[in-house]
Amino acid sequence: QVQPVESGGGSVQAGGSLRLSCAASGYSPDCWGWFRQAPGTVREWVAHIYTHTGSTRYADSVKARFTISRDNAKPMVYLQMNDLKPDDTGTYYCAVPALRGYGGGCSLISDFTYWGQGTQVTVSS
What is the tens place of the pLDDT at every residue in 76-97? 999 999 999 999 999 999 999 9
Q: From CA 74, how far away is CA 10, in angstroms rounded?
A: 24
Asked if 116 and 93 count as a contact pair (C-beta separation under 8 A), the reply is yes
pLDDT at position 10 is 98
* Residue 53: alpha-carbon gap to chain centroid: 17
Asked if 123 and 14 count as a contact pair (C-beta separation under 8 A), the reply is yes
DSSP 8-state code for residue 98? P
pLDDT at position 25 is 86
Q: From CA 50, how far away is CA 119, in angstroms rounded?
A: 22
Q: From CA 111, how far away is CA 45, in angstroms rounded?
A: 11
Find the range with the poorest average confidence among 34-38, 96-100, 101-105, 120-124: 101-105
